[in-house]
Amino acid sequence: MRVAGKEMRTIWPSPDRRAVLAIDQRALPGRLEIARLEGVEAVAHAIRDMLVRGAPLIGVAAAYGLALAAARDPSDAALDAARALLGATRPTAVNLRWALDRVGAALANVPPVRRAEAAFAEADAIAEDDVRMCRQIGEHALPLLRARKGEGPLRVMTHCNAGWLATVDWGTALAPVYLLHRAGVEVHVWVSETRPRNQGHLTAWELAGEGVPHTLIVDNAAGHLIARGEVDAVIVGSDRTTAAGDVANKVGTYLKALAARAHGVPFYVALPSSSIDFRVTRGAEIPIEQRDGREVGAGVGVAVQNPAFDVTPAHLVSALITERGVCAASAEGLAALFGRAA
């Protein structure tokens, strides 16, 4: 998507394949900085420290991390260690495991001497698939969102950052917003700040880059706006969705789903299939990342609990929007699209 009029992605390999380059999201929205990650340790640190973040992007970054590891030492032992290092960086987004498994499968039966090349090729394919899936999500969401538009602009509420910064390009929840805007449909986005890391500021930054009208709100204003009839649809992303349609996403998502249900506003979840964990059916089984209490900014000695995600039960989700189309948030809905059950 566009930054100061220039097309950009969040991550790409250096031309000599000795490093991976990525937007350093810790510096946004203040400064656009590109980080050069020169080895698997640097990539693991980048994921853990949220230099790169967002479920799909975490997966792509991990895939490139494994490719860098293969370039340095393609032995089974080194690659197992690299997978373990990357796999332990963040617990909730299942895209991480999905991407590592995919690169691992691509390397099975490949002799060590050719593993780096094969791993980079697979990481490139994962990145390209991510772009395609996000664009398809956007297209499938269009009719749902268009149907909610009244006289004025379509008023969409989102949470956290499920835009292009959370993926390679386009984003999940924001992909249809960009498509609508480019098609000339009037759209306005309520951007919830998303305490404690303020990923909403990233959302505001990228919407500004594309010229999409938006307004930043504190998280606690969401219920008020929904109750006042100022929201036509809520759309969020997902870090892990179970085979039965329960959705883990950034903490605060659940409260928006409750408010949306109470006031008859549709609550949509946009996600690529790489965010579906077909091994898990109950949301309670999803590991929820607990982050450092210092992020919350409390004074010394104050007890803090800082869960990074929450789970919205399937019955509060109006529909799941995937690259294969729209389905009910249920085992049957997902099985109809993906042909597999948990």
CA atoms within 13 A on the CB side of 78: 17
Cβ proximity to ligand MRU, 119 vs 175, nearer residue: 175
For the stretch 84-91, contacts whose Cβ atoms lie closer than 8 Å and that sit 24 or more positions apart, written own/partner, are 85/40, 85/41, 85/44, 86/40, 86/43, 86/44, 86/47, 86/62, 87/62, 89/44, 89/47, 89/48, 89/58, 89/62, 90/47, 90/48, 90/58, 90/289, 91/287, 91/288, 91/289
- Which of these segments, 181-189, 231-239, 280-288, 319-327, binds ligand MRU (CB under 6 A)? 231-239
Q: Which amino acid is at 301?
A: G
User: Torsion angle of alpha carbons 284, 53, 205, 298, nearest 10°?
Assistant: 70
What's the distance, CA 75 to chain centroid? 31
Residue from 86, 103, 144, 160 touching ligand MRU (CB under 6 A): that is: 160
Q: Is 228 exposed, middle or buried (0-12, 13-18, 19+ CB in 10 A)?
A: exposed
274 lies in the binding site for ligand MRU (CB under 6 A): no
Site string for ligand MRU, 187-206 (x = CB under 6 A): ------------x-------
**Cross-strand bridge partners of residue 156:** 189, 233
- Does residue 153 sit in helix, strand or coil? coil
53 lies in the binding site for ligand MRU (CB under 6 A): yes
Alpha-carbon span 122 to 104, nearest angstrom: 9
Q: Which of 24, 232, 239, 310 is catalytic?
A: 239
- Which of these segments, 48-56, 141-149, 183-191, 293-301, binds ligand MRU (CB under 6 A)? 48-56
Residue from 129, 193, 232, 239 touching ligand MRU (CB under 6 A): that is: 239
317 lies in the binding site for ligand MRU (CB under 6 A): no
91 lies in the binding site for ligand MRU (CB under 6 A): no
Q: Which two tokens stand for residue 120?
A: 């980079």
Alpha-carbon span 267 to 258, nearest angstrom: 9
- The answer to whether residue 239 is catalytic is yes
Q: Which residue is nearest to ligand MRU (CB)?
A: 237
- Which of these segments, 161-169, 183-191, 216-224, 280-288, binds ligand MRU (CB under 6 A)? 161-169
Q: How far is the CB of 33 from ligand MRU (least distance, A)?
A: 17
334 lies in the binding site for ligand MRU (CB under 6 A): no
155 lies in the binding site for ligand MRU (CB under 6 A): no
Q: How far is the CB of 173 from ligand MRU (least distance, A)?
A: 7
| Alpha carbon separation from 237 to 15, 156, 322 (Å, rounded) | 31, 13, 10
Edge-to-edge strands, sheet with 276-277: 276-277, 240-242, 247-250, 309-312
Q: How far is the CB of 280 from ligand MRU (least distance, A)?
A: 17
Residue from 65, 237, 245, 252 touching ligand MRU (CB under 6 A): that is: 237
Q: How far is the CB of 55 from ligand MRU (least distance, A)?
A: 4
56 lies in the binding site for ligand MRU (CB under 6 A): yes
Residue from 55, 226, 244, 329 touching ligand MRU (CB under 6 A): that is: 55
250 lies in the binding site for ligand MRU (CB under 6 A): yes
172 lies in the binding site for ligand MRU (CB under 6 A): yes
Catalytic residues: 239
Residues in the site for ligand MRU, rule: CB under 6 A?
A: 53-56, 160, 162, 166-167, 171-172, 199, 237-239, 249-250, 308
